Amino acid sequence: MNYFGPGHGACPGCGFPTAIRGAIEVLDGKVIAVNATGCLEIVSSMYGRNTWGVPYIHSVFENSAAVAAGIETALKALKREKEGHVVVFAGDGATFDIGIGTLSGMMDRNHNVIYICYDNEAYQNTGNQQSMATPPGANTTTTPVGKLQPGKTGKKKDMVGIAVAHGVPYAASASIAYPKDFQRKVKRASEFEGSKYIQVHSPCVVGWGIDGKLTVEVARLAVETGLYPLVEYEHGKLVRVRKLKQRKPVEEYLRLQRRFRHLFKHEMGKEMLERLQRIADENAEKYGLDA
């Protein structure tokens, strides 16, 4: 039984389908998928052309967490909780920005839902507009490179930290470069009762300006430079991080993507590169990434 795909409309080389399929497979297809508006929804759920082999619902952009909460509540009321896991698949725009209110409510009430945010670091479906998950220095259409700014000057929101602050039993970050690790995290999350938050870094070939050839390498470098630490929290305690034997400098990661290439030429680029390196260094210290 194909739980997700093939035949969906994701760009060749897109990062998230690997994650979506992996998540459903590791849960043996006993999944009720709740999807927020975004790339995933658009490529997979056209009327008459839907790729989902599991029950699926898409409501509006910002309420996937609340809809999932409602489904979980209904299953509890109807005594059908054992039927399957309620899993949310939402992009970073729907999670970090517009949907943070409903997500906070869901996590606060500790509904038994696995919330998986595929983080492609911008509103990619509408053409790469910045979201609060976009890292500083990125060239997006709403934070473009110009005389006044070298791309985005704000920071990336620490959503995993926000989840932990809500007191959820499980919160983790993952990357599609390590799909088995991501699957393990989904399986581990399913063992907890309550709201689980997993953020999976998914490169976007169009938005980030890379080729399908580079998808896995770029995702791996994001982890290996310390810019995207892979962490795991259980009941508020940091239980596992992916240690880096040899932490690479951030330039190796940034150089490969068109959205960061201007940093090597722009007059404010050097400052931004230093800032990004600082972020990586701080992550390494905070989570103990350096082996």
Partner 1 sequence: MAKMKLYIGASNPPMSSEMKTGDWGTELAYIDKEKCIACGQCITFCPEPATSMVEEDDKKYAIVNHDYCKGCWICYTVCPVDAIEMKTKDIYKVEV
Partner 2 sequence: MRKVVRGFYAIAEAVRLSKPNVIAAYPITPQTEIVENLAEMYANGELGDVEYVTAESEFGAASMVLGASAAGARAFTATSSQGLLLMTEVLYNAAGMRLPIVLVVANRSVSAPLSIWNDIQDSISIRDAGIIQLYVESNQEAHDMVPLAFKVAENKGVLLPFMICVDGFKLTHAYEPIDLLEQEIVDKFLPPYKPVVKLDVNNPVAMGCYAPPPYYMEFRVAMEYAMERARKVMIDEFESWYELTGRNWGGHVVAESCEDAEVAVVAMGSVVPLVREVVNRMRQDGKKVGLLKVRTYRPFPSEEVRKALENAKKIIVIERALSIGAEPPVTADVKSALFGIDAEVYPVVMGLGGRDIPRELVEKVIDDVMYGKVKPEKRFESLNEFEEVIP
Token pair listed for 208? 């980030």
- The listed partner (partner 1, partner 2, none) that binds 34, CB under 5 to 8 Å by sort, is partner 2
- The listed partner (partner 1, partner 2, none) that binds 265, CB under 5 to 8 Å by sort, is none
The answer to whether 171 and 107 are in contact (CB under 8 A) is no
The smaller minimum CB distance to partner 2, of residues 30 and 187, is found at: 30
H helix intervals, the chain: 16-26, 39-44, 64-77, 92, 100-108, 159-165, 179-190, 205-208, 215-224, 250-254, 269-287
- Taking the C-alpha atoms of residue 275 and residue 17, their distance in angstroms, rounded to an integer, is 32
The smaller minimum CB distance to partner 1, of residues 59 and 277, is found at: 59
**Cis ω for the linkage preceding 6 (within 30 of 0):** yes
Interface residues for partner 2 in 85-114 (CB under 8 A)? 101-102, 104-105, 108-109
Among 24, 32, 90, 132, binds partner 2 (CB under 8 A): 32
**Binding range to partner 2, per CB under 8 A, among 66-74, 136-144, 166-174, 186-194:** 66-74
Site string for partner 1, 46-75 (x = CB under 8 A): xxxxxxxx----------------------
Q: How many CB atoms lie within 10 A of CB 87?
A: 26
- Taking the C-alpha atoms of residue 274 and residue 253, their distance in angstroms, rounded to an integer, is 14
> For residue 110, is it left (φ>0), alpha (ψ between -120 and 50) or beta?
left
Residue 18 one-letter amino acid:
T
The reply on whether position 58 binds partner 2 by CB under 8 A is yes
**Binding range to partner 1, per CB under 8 A, among 27-35, 92-100, 204-212, 224-232:** 204-212
The smaller minimum CB distance to partner 1, of residues 51 and 257, is found at: 51
User: What radius of gyration do the chain's Cα atoms show?
Assistant: 18
The reply on whether position 187 binds partner 1 by CB under 8 A is no
- Taking the C-alpha atoms of residue 202 and residue 272, their distance in angstroms, rounded to an integer, is 23
Binding residues for partner 2, per CB under 8 A?
29-32, 34, 41-42, 45-48, 50, 52-60, 62-63, 66-71, 73-80, 83-84, 101-102, 104-105, 108-109
